[in-house]
Amino acid sequence: MDRWLEQPDLPARIHTLTAIECGDDCLPIYCFEIGNAKADVPTVIFTGGVHGVERIGTQVILSFMHTLFNRMDWDESLDAMLEDVRILFVPLVNPSGMLRRTRSNLNGVDLMRNAPIDATGKVPFLLGGQRLSRHIPWYRGRRDDPMEKEANAVIRMVESIVKESSFVISLDCHSGFGHQDQVWFPYAYTPDPFDDIGEMFALRLLFRRTHPTFSFYLIEPQSRNYTTHGDLWDHVYKQTLNTRKGTYLPLTLEMGSWLWIKKNPLQMFNALGVFNPVLPHRHERVLRRHQCLMEFLIRATASFRNWLPHPSDRREWMHQAIEYWY
Ligand SMILES: [Zn+2]
């Protein structure tokens, strides 16, 4: 990570959201910002490394940052687009987890189960979030404790953007045991549709029609896979529903790790091999595989007025989305 800070001409504004004490180390959580800094500008937020073992999420973002930062040197069309959009990157939300090779943070808390929101109905045992022990995965933290520093810092940052910005998309990059790459949207805590389901359906159609050869993404509500307690994005979405300025679509990219494991089963025996591509050519393939989606999200955000359903058509779009997904 520090490599980015050492570049003398880094074309980004750098913010430190917070810092985590981890033994003798003090691990900052950085946010890199490019594009128009005016408060109401439409904004894309890329986050990764919420789970310390899912290194590939952080690497996908760093690789995309590398491409964009280099293009800013010579690509005038990119400069022009950055007048219309702001892009924030938080490539590593859980630095203590990544350092210690754990899913959770230093306190044993799973940051994706830590928000104060309970699932309605049944959740999968343990996986849905548990308060039994910090030594078991998916630990939510103690009831009524404040949120962990990392979760709190990200939520505060996103809330402040959503409050002022005319349109916001966030993409949180993870990897898990899927057979394909999935793009999830809220909710995780309930099978009910979220308020922006019509807008989400419009975004999906726009992506499918613009990039028909990227049909490998399965795009659906997280609750169709499983419901969980404490989802960070459910929480920040609900918190900002009444204070936000425009539409907010929080997305999660769940890269399917079975795609890599089935081609190289031996990596199951590597501590990080369950969640990350191991062989160099496959690693490189995963780094480039998602650049198109990330670029699409930036362009869709910059030009959101050209495709977002008009308020008078909202009901119709919602209806179509519910027919399709629920
Ligand atoms: Zn994850």
Specify the CATH number for the domain of residue 42. 3.40.630.10
How much distance in Å is there from the Cα of 140 to the middle of ligand 1? 14
* Torsional sign, CA 147, 255, 102, 132: positive
How much distance in Å is there from the Cα of 303 to the middle of ligand 1? 30
The pLDDT value given to residue 2: 57
Cα 123 to its chain centre, rounded Å, is 22
Give 262's contacts (C-beta < 8 A, 6+ positions apart). Answer: none
The pLDDT value given to residue 266: 78
How much distance in Å is there from the Cα of 224 to the middle of ligand 1? 17
How much distance in Å is there from the Cα of 311 to the middle of ligand 1? 34
The pLDDT value given to residue 298: 98
- 192 is written with which tokens? 């009910």
CA distance 45 to 47: 7
Is-contact 184 178, C-beta < 8 A?
no
How much distance in Å is there from the Cα of 269 to the middle of ligand 1? 19
pLDDT tens for residues 24-74?
Answer: 999 999 999 999 999 999 999 999 999 999 999 999 999 999 999 999 999
How much distance in Å is there from the Cα of 306 to the middle of ligand 1? 33
Instruction: State the Cα angle at 191 between 313 and 247, rounded to 5°.
Output: 35
The pLDDT value given to residue 1: 60
Between helix 291-302 and helix 197-210 the angle, nearest 10°, is 120
The pLDDT value given to residue 316: 97
What secondary structure does DSSP assign to 31-71, as a single string?
EEEEE---TTS-EEEEEE-SSTT-HHHHHHHHHHHHHHHHH
- 65 is written with which tokens? 């940052």
pTM as predicted: 0.96
How much distance in Å is there from the Cα of 253 to the middle of ligand 1? 9
Is-contact 57 103, C-beta < 8 A?
no
* Torsional sign, CA 238, 319, 208, 295: negative
The pLDDT value given to residue 4: 65
Query: How far, in Å, are 49, 219, 320 from residue 137 at the CA level?
Result: 16, 26, 38
How much distance in Å is there from the Cα of 229 to the middle of ligand 1? 14
How much distance in Å is there from the Cα of 251 to the middle of ligand 1? 13
DSSP code at position 139: B
How much distance in Å is there from the Cα of 278 to the middle of ligand 1? 17
How much distance in Å is there from the Cα of 54 to the middle of ligand 1? 6
Helix H or strand E encompassing 221: strand 218-221
Give residue 77's identity as a one-letter amino acid code.
S
How much distance in Å is there from the Cα of 171 to the middle of ligand 1? 12
The pLDDT value given to residue 166: 97
The pLDDT value given to residue 208: 98
- Stretches where the chain sits below pLDDT 70 are 1-5
Domain ranges, residue 222: 2-325
The pLDDT value given to residue 258: 80
- 15 is written with which tokens? 């913010």
What's the structural domain count of the chain?
A: 1
